[in-house]
């Protein structure tokens, strides 16, 4: 059943940006998911007067008026979050349909993932017969930071930001919320897709491609259901916005494990690999890479030229970054003589202009500012990687300011990634750079790998001139 | 000039475990290294009455009595830290020799690394003529957490622990001190080797092999000077203690960069690769791996059997760990039926006993305790990897306690690595596990990779039975 594209965005808006939310199966018992979802919606900051708990045996839940059926709600309901037992799901979906609910997020499990494939098919049929859309079943919910809607059993919302994270693993989704808070990684949405019975990855790509709050899309997937549609959509969407996917189940046994716990066919890995490449999806292999790369892709322009310049105050960090450039296919060459001559102004005689540009341990604010500005402004340079080992001679914050000033002063559209190596002070300065939309990482290889993702995007978009 | 082994340990003891330290070139000016070293020694906790600042123009430095020459110090001097300008180095070394100083740590730069090879050779000759040993020149110093001796310009000591970290990059060494504090990675010593004019990596391996405070040795190297002696020593030492090396300059350009900034020949990477393997050195490719693996190797016994069991509460984390097992050559197989039957007691009907053992998101303390204890006690199992996604149903601390209880109860000598995926609470529980000598990491692949290092060690030691 092919769905027209333009309408997908309209159909999914009530799912991610609803005005009103009913929680069907709301509960007064704190250990129940139906309690947690109401509490999370309230604590997340969604307006109280637009949350409607549904429970035939309660008048009030967490201080909110409860209704026996969604049909009794006096206002229009955009989104119904369903967490009733599987046996009464069909009844409440019918109620939703009759009420005119626009979209359903179904936390309830017990369908395709445990072999009840036929029941899941009937469920989708019922939902569609009312013109509704269904996320799930078997999800942990939806976290939308734009309207502060935590319609999930994740204990908190991720920090607001511009990465949409779509995950096929619910437990991973919940666990990573805490991680995004600790690591200060901003998300526009966190979507648990569950069994993808109706809304699937292709629909979500379509929605987030058009979402003004999202600049990069992160996918954790174990298998896609309608491969052809997914990759056709991805090919189109990745022209507009970067997509990074962590596809688990790469190994034979991993694929079998994925198939057993999601019910989805995982498929041969090299087929995925080729399809990712053709459709412009950048493939990550670890959770760190998935978010590292999205952070860079969401904030930096793709490069237009091959040559990368590395600026460092530590020879060792420079050597490690050089190795990583070889691993990720980045072009590190000796700069032209005129550029070398300018770099020389910013280092003592025992520095190096050979790329990595080694400003040496003597480098302070002015040397970083001068070298980064010089690199950004020179026409030979495509991109700049800045490395800084926290030494006693300067503070990370000073160097962070020097980098930001140089970027502002240069007024060019070239990507920059940074690595600050050190302790708590370096970590704070790194956070400060990220808040100012400059991606900063704790090790040189991660800054290089993120730049590698920017180059792969530039290649896909055909932007690189020689 | 071959040095007898047994004496190397004796010769280096004054360098790393000195009773008294003279700072030659101590200064009253806070911006000078000669000031910082005295301050760092005092602030680090080294006894004030065993620190002797040497400066012919000062009576007192930072409240300590200063002496015009090391020869004027009224006590025996074990270690002299030298930070005078290069031009007067020969004079102060002669003074040290005449005083009977046992070892020199030379921060002063300007020798082999800038081409003054002949001067460096003469320096070593002079040092040896007095029977002293020399670390450096061109180092940031020595941090010994055992006696709280910060004889360096690193602003603080790393946390105390059992990993000796030897680094050829000074800036990296300084920056990583802050990092070890933030990441709570305990070191016995941090040694900056500088130009390795006299004391080299082989000497250091020998010393730390015999040091009772060190259980694993981490090396950051760009090149070794006397390859044959180094690898022969490593082959012997790695039988006693695990060695992990991050060898930078893997790529052609990286090797050239390393050669330019340390003056050492970096050499063809595949030769290093083969030599590492033959000598039992485990090769890391990133800073994270270097320390991740040392933490596991320092705290866990090597496995004796191939089969690994993964216990998880999240299918996705299990799939990612399974992929990583394939990457790192770990044997993940279906457990024997009797073991499966016991596992079944600790999970709901929709769990999986197929390895990864998926306890599902329902798992709490008791299920983790039961499953981990079962795995550890079963004779088929060689090692256990425990994964936990922080969900609303339990706290990371409860699961950490369950794992520790199971390990204590099992009373077996099998390695365990853990991954806790989540936010601040998971991070605290992870720290708690590490304090209790159970290595815990923030992502599944890192727990698997650390287990991979334990298997490589077991292979080198010939411990694995089939």
One domain, residues B126 and B218: yes
Per DSSP, which regions of B25-69 are E strands? 51-54, 60-61, 64-65
Q: What is the mean pLDDT of chain B?
A: 94
What is the SS3 assignment for B24?
Answer: strand
* A159 touching chain B per CB within 8 A: no
**pLDDT tens string A315-343:** 999 999 999 999 999 999 999 999 999 99
Q: Determine if the peptide bond prior to B42 is cis (ω within 30°).
A: no
One domain, residues B103 and B193: yes
User: Measured between CA atoms, how close is B153 to chain A, in angstroms?
Assistant: 8
Size of interface A-B (CB pairs under 8 A): 228
Question: Rounded mean pLDDT of A73-93?
Answer: 97
Q: Is the pLDDT of residue B265 over 70?
A: no
One domain, residues A268 and A316: no
**pLDDT tens string B110-165:** 999 889 999 999 999 999 999 999 999 999 999 999 999 999 999 999 999 999 99
* B29 touching chain A per CB within 8 A: no
- Boundary residue ending a domain (B296, B331, B349): B296
Cβ <8 Å between A175 and B421 = yes
- Boundary residue ending a domain (A296, A312, A347): A296
One domain, residues B333 and B291: no
With CA atoms as reference, the chain A residue closest to B260 would be: A352
One domain, residues A314 and A420: yes
For residue B364, the model assigns a pLDDT of 96
For residue B183, the model assigns a pLDDT of 93
**pLDDT tens string A340-369:** 999 999 999 989 999 999 999 999 999 999
Asked, for residue A466, whether it belongs to a domain, the answer is no
**Structural domain span for residue A231:** 5-296
Asked, for residue A182, whether it belongs to a domain, the answer is yes
Q: Which residues contact A365 (CB under 8 A, 6 or more apart)?
A: A394, A398, A399, A401, A402
**pLDDT tens string B325-352:** 999 999 999 999 999 999 999 999 989 9
**pLDDT tens string A228-253:** 999 999 999 999 999 999 999 998 88
* A278 touching chain B per CB within 8 A: no
Whole-angstrom distance, CA of residue A391 vs CA of residue B152? 12
Cβ <8 Å between A182 and B260 = no
In this structure, of A137-141, A223-227, A461-465, the range with the lowest mean pLDDT score is A223-227
For residue B6, the model assigns a pLDDT of 61
With CA atoms as reference, the chain B residue closest to A314 would be: B171
What is the number of structural domains in chain A?
2
What is the SS3 assignment for B59?
Answer: coil
Given A220, A288, A425, which is nearest B443 (Cβ)? Answer: A288
Question: Rounded mean pLDDT of B29-57?
Answer: 97
**pLDDT tens string B284-329:** 999 999 999 999 999 999 999 999 999 999 999 999 999 999 999 9
For residue B44, the model assigns a pLDDT of 97
For residue A265, the model assigns a pLDDT of 52
From chain A, the residues in CB contact with B181 under 8 A are 423-424
CATH number of the structural domain spanning residue B209? 3.40.50.261
For residue B261, the model assigns a pLDDT of 58
Q: Is the pLDDT of residue B262 over 60?
A: no
For residue B1, the model assigns a pLDDT of 44
For residue A140, the model assigns a pLDDT of 95
Asked, for residue B39, whether it belongs to a domain, the answer is yes
One domain, residues A189 and A306: no
Cβ <8 Å between A257 and B361 = no
Asked, for residue A163, whether it belongs to a domain, the answer is yes
Whole-angstrom distance, CA of residue A454 vs CA of residue A456? 5
For residue B458, the model assigns a pLDDT of 98
* B49 touching chain A per CB within 8 A: no
Asked, for residue B238, whether it belongs to a domain, the answer is yes
Cβ <8 Å between B260 and A390 = no
For residue A270, the model assigns a pLDDT of 85
Q: Which residues contact A185 (CB under 8 A, 6 or more apart)?
A: A158, A159, A161, A163, A179, A291, A295
Strands B416-421 and B383-389: parallel
One domain, residues A274 and A363: no
Which string of b and e fits B53-74 if b means at least 16 CB within 10 Å? bbbeebeebbebebbebbbebe
The pTM assigned to this predicted structure is: 0.95
One domain, residues A352 and A366: yes
One domain, residues A329 and A430: yes
Candidates B319, B335, B431, partner chain A, best to mutate (most A CBs within 10 A)? B319
From chain A, the residues in CB contact with B284 under 8 A are none
Q: Is the pLDDT of residue A312 over 80?
A: yes
For residue A253, the model assigns a pLDDT of 86
**pLDDT tens string A392-403:** 889 999 999 999
Given B155, B350, B356, which is nearest A257 (Cβ)? Answer: B356
One domain, residues B306 and B342: yes
For residue B392, the model assigns a pLDDT of 81
Asked, for residue B465, whether it belongs to a domain, the answer is no
Q: Is the pLDDT of residue A225 over 90?
A: no
Q: What is the mean pLDDT of chain A?
A: 94
For residue B275, the model assigns a pLDDT of 94
Nearest alpha carbon to residue B443 among B397, B390, B406, B402:
B390
**pLDDT tens string B358-413:** 999 999 999 999 999 999 999 999 999 999 999 888 999 999 999 999 999 999 99
Nearest alpha carbon to residue A166 among A133, A128, A136:
A136
Candidates B150, B323, B324, partner chain A, best to mutate (most A CBs within 10 A)? B323
Cβ <8 Å between B314 and A175 = yes
Task: Give me B65's structure tokens.
Answer: 């009595």
With CA atoms as reference, the chain A residue closest to B424 would be: A182
Asked, for residue B40, whether it belongs to a domain, the answer is yes
CA trace torsion A286, A290, A291, A296 (10° rounding) = 130
- Boundary residue ending a domain (A296, A328, A359): A296
Cβ <8 Å between B179 and A442 = yes
pLDDT band at B267 (very low <50, low <70, confident <90, very high): low
Q: Is the pLDDT of residue A6 over 80?
A: no
One domain, residues B140 and B52: yes
Residues 227-256 on B with a CB inside 8 Å of A are: 246, 248-254, 256
Sign of torsion, CA A14 A19 A24 A26?
A: positive
**pLDDT tens string B157-173:** 999 999 999 999 999 99
One domain, residues B308 and B291: no
For residue A1, the model assigns a pLDDT of 44
ipTM of the complex: 0.94
For residue B5, the model assigns a pLDDT of 58
Asked, for residue B466, whether it belongs to a domain, the answer is no
Question: Rounded mean pLDDT of B14-38?
Answer: 97
């Amino acid at each position: 059943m092919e769905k027209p594209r333009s309408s997908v965005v309209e159909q999914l808006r009530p799912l991610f940006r609803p005005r009103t939310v009913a929680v069907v199966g709301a509960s007064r018992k704190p250990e129940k998911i139906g309690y947690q979802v109401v509490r999370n919606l309230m604590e997340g900051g969604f307006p109280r007067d637009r949350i409607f708990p549904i429970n035939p045996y309660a008048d009030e839940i967490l201080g909110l008026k409860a209704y026996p059926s969604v049909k009794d709600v006096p206002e229009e309901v955009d989104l119904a979050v369903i967490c009733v037992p599987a046996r009464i799901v069909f009844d409440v979906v019918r109620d939703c349909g009759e009420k005119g609910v626009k979209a359903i997020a179904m936390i309830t499990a017990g369908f395709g993932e445990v072999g009840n494939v036929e029941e899941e098919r009937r469920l989708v049929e019922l939902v569609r017969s009312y013109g509704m859309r269904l996320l799930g079943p078997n999800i942990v919910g939806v976290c939308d930071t734009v309207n502060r809607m935590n319609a999930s059993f994740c204990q908190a919302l991720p920090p607001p930001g511009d990465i949409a994270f779509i995950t096929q693993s619910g437990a991973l989704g919940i666990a990573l919320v805490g991680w995004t808070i600790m690591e200060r990684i901003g998300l526009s949405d966190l979507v648990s897709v569950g069994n993808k019975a109706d809304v699937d990855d292709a629909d979500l790509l379509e929605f987030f491609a058009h979402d003004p709050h999202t600049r990069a899309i992160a996918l954790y997937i174990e298998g896609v259901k309608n491969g052809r549609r997914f990759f056709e959509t991805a090919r189109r969407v990745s022209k507009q916005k970067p997509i990074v996917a962590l596809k688990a189940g790469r190994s034979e046994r991993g694929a079998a494990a994925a198939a057993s716990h999601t019910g989805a066919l995982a498929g041969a890995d090299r087929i995925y690999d080729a399809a990712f490449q053709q459709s412009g999806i950048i493939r990550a292999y670890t959770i760190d890479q998935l978010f590292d790369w999205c952070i860079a892709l969401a904030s930096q322009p793709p490069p237009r030229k091959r040559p990368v310049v590395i600026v460092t105050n530590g020879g060792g960090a420079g050597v490690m970054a050089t190795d990583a450039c070889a691993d990720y296919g980045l072009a590190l060459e000796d700069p032209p003589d005129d550029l070398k001559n300018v770099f020389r102004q910013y280092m003592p005689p025992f520095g190096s202009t050979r790329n990595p540009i080694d400003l040496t341990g003597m480098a302070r604010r002015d040397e970083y500012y001068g070298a980064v500005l010089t690199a950004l402004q020179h026409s030979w340079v495509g991109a700049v990687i800045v490395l800084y080992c926290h030494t006693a001679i300067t503070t990370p914050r000073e160097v962070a300011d020097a980098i930001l000033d140089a970027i502002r002063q240069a007024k060019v559209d070239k990507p920059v990634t940074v690595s600050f190596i050190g302790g708590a002070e370096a970590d704070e300065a790194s956070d400060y750079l990220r808040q100012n939309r400059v991606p900063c990482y704790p090790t040189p290889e991660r800054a290089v790998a993120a730049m590698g993702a920017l180059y792969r995007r530039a290649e896909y978009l055909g932007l690189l001139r020689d």
